[in-house]
Amino acid sequence: MSSMRLSIADEKPCYRPGDTLQAEASWELDAEPRAVTLRLFWYTQGKGTTDTVIAVEEPYVGPMASGKWSTSLTIPPDAVSSYTGRLLSITWAVEVVAEKKLGFARREIVVSPTGQAIQPPPG
């Protein structure tokens, strides 16, 4: 049975634009994937169309049926902030994906210059 794991060293409650995080992925797959990729991205949820924007994407180089990989990812200095609203949310995440739909693992993070997700005003 295939498995993929993803962890973030020194995981913080919030990352600021320009921060660097250390991600570590490991996997044992039942078949050889076309590629293994680590992504830092944000996506929208809520009313309307879902949008996804990949900020950083790094391919793994090496044997792929099993492996362990540690790398640094830098949040872009112009990153949009995480946001939780009534009609729309913006969520940041880090994920490792094995192409051919063999597996993935995802960790959500908060990105904001204030140190917390932006909330709509009450009312």
Predicted structure pTM score: 0.88
Q: 59 lies in a domain?
A: yes
Q: How far apart are CA 69 and CA 25, in angstroms?
A: 5
Q: 75 lies in a domain?
A: yes
Provide the residue range defining the domain that includes 103. Answer: 3-109
For residue 123, what pLDDT is reported? Answer: 61
Region 37-48: mean pLDDT is 93
Label each residue of 38-53 as H, E or C: EEEEEEEEECCCCCEE
| CATH number, domain with residue 105 | 2.60.40.640
Q: 123 lies in a domain?
A: no
For residue 106, what pLDDT is reported? Answer: 96
Q: 90 lies in a domain?
A: yes
Q: 116 lies in a domain?
A: no
Closest CA to 97 of 64, 71, 74: 64
Q: 23 lies in a domain?
A: yes
Tokens of 13: 């409650």
| CB-CB contact of 79 with 97 (8 Å) | no
The domain total for the chain is 1
For residue 62, what pLDDT is reported? Answer: 75
Region 18-43: mean pLDDT is 93
Tokens of 81: 């902030």
